[in-house]
Amino acid sequence: MKQKRIVYLTFYFRPDLCAGSFRNTPLLEELAKLAKENNAIVEVYTTLPNRYSTYNVEALEFEQLDNVNIYRIKLPLHKSGMADQIKSFWHYYLEVNGMNNGKSADLVFASSSRLFTAYLGLGLAKKFKSVLYLDIRDIFVDTISDVIDNRAIRFVMLPILKLIEKRIFNYAMHINLISEGFRDYFQKFKCANYSYFTNGIDPEFVEISNFEGPVVTNRIKRIVYAGNLGEGQGLHKIVPQAALALKDEFEFLIIGDGGAKHKLLKAVEELQVSNVTFEPPMNREKLIEKYRAADFLFMHLNDFDAFKKVLPSKIFELAAFDKPIIAGVGGYAAKFVKENVSNTLLFEPTDHHTIVTLLKEYTYKREVRTEFVNNYKRKAINEAMAESIISYL
């Protein structure tokens, strides 16, 4: 019997540090098991670690693991600006296309947040005359319309992106939406089957032992944020202002890097805030120690309309700990947190007055979210999603 071939596209993969990597690395493991049972190989086309210019880690350009081949493409040096991101993706697009010349495939799977990986998947699926299965982690057209301030650029870009989006989503046989908040937006694309496999909690977070030691009340409380420092997170609109009002009782530790970090640093300097400190991106082992030493865990999205539909992966990561969560999110994410994540101080994005009030009135407690952790283990979600993908062989 002829061996089948699955092409797996993800711009980010292990050992990179980002939601795309954390989602696709364990999903591949589950898919590979089922592919082996179905006489199939999986070929992953990804990039060498590039999420943050301040985080350097070695990785092999080619890796073979049983029935999995992983190709990591080296990108030109870049930072987090849009021009750099377009240049990087174009390089990835050309390389992947070149590496697949003269080949065939039975299934193309693409995990995409910026639409372009999905567009690459469309091109390959058409070339192979194969099934296209998409995992959509963000609505890129919505995000672009909010993030780009220049009206002329928006006027030119948005019609082109909407046309590309229409071609992709009308061709795909199956589309997984990472957030049910995307459901209404995708109603106009009627050709595909839909599923809603969310992000989940990784094993290293599930296995955390909580409640280490007594709660100390008579000291400054530490609030920890870890992740991207971009326009999407908008920390420059909330952290300096809140920290200034809370300076005698709370301190902020910000771990990460990103395209809007300079705005955050500038705001901290202008307000002469002394209770905000910074550390560069770090691996998960070190990050877990920072979370365990924290009093509060913090997440925030900017006040963009696009983010009213999303369900951030950070929710699942933070809820695995017993610490209270401070969450500045709106729309579907706020609804999800309210219904599922206990011991959370929820407020509207960028509303620093409310976060100050909530913290000053809060009676501190820690709570293990056992039911949530059991319901959203990444492994169980990935097993179900892998079965969905393999069914299209």
Same domain, 153 and 14: yes
Same domain, 264 and 309: yes
What CATH number did the domain enclosing 76 receive?
Answer: 3.40.50.2000
Same domain, 220 and 296: yes
Per the structure, the complete domain to which residue 263 belongs is given by 203-375
Closest CA to 296 of 262, 250, 257, 342: 250
User: Number of structural domains, the chain?
Assistant: 2
Same domain, 191 and 207: no
Same domain, 145 and 104: yes
Do β-strands 62-65 and 68-73 pair in parallel, antiparallel, or remain unpaired?
antiparallel
Q: Sheet containing 193-195: which strands, arranged edge to edge?
A: 62-65, 68-73, 40-47, 4-10, 107-112, 131-136, 174-177, 193-195
pLDDT at 64: 96
pLDDT at 250: 97
Q: What is the DSSP letter of 48?
A: S
Same domain, 10 and 91: yes
Same domain, 58 and 100: yes
Same domain, 57 and 136: yes
pLDDT tens figures, 236-248:
999 999 999 999 8
Kindly state the greatest CA–CA separation across the chain: 70
Kindly list the distances between the CA atom of residue 67 and the CA atoms of 5, 36, 38, 43, 203, in Å, as whole numbers in the listed order: 10, 7, 11, 8, 23
Same domain, 351 and 231: yes
Closest CA to 46 of 111, 102, 132: 111
Same domain, 236 and 303: yes
Same domain, 14 and 135: yes
pLDDT at 4: 97
Question: Which ranges of the chain have pLDDT less than 50?
Answer: none
Same domain, 138 and 285: no
Residues near 314 by beta carbon (within 8 Å), at least 6 away in sequence? 19, 227, 299
pLDDT at 251: 97
Q: How far is CA 247 from its chain centroid?
A: 31
Q: Report the length, in residues, of the chain.
A: 393
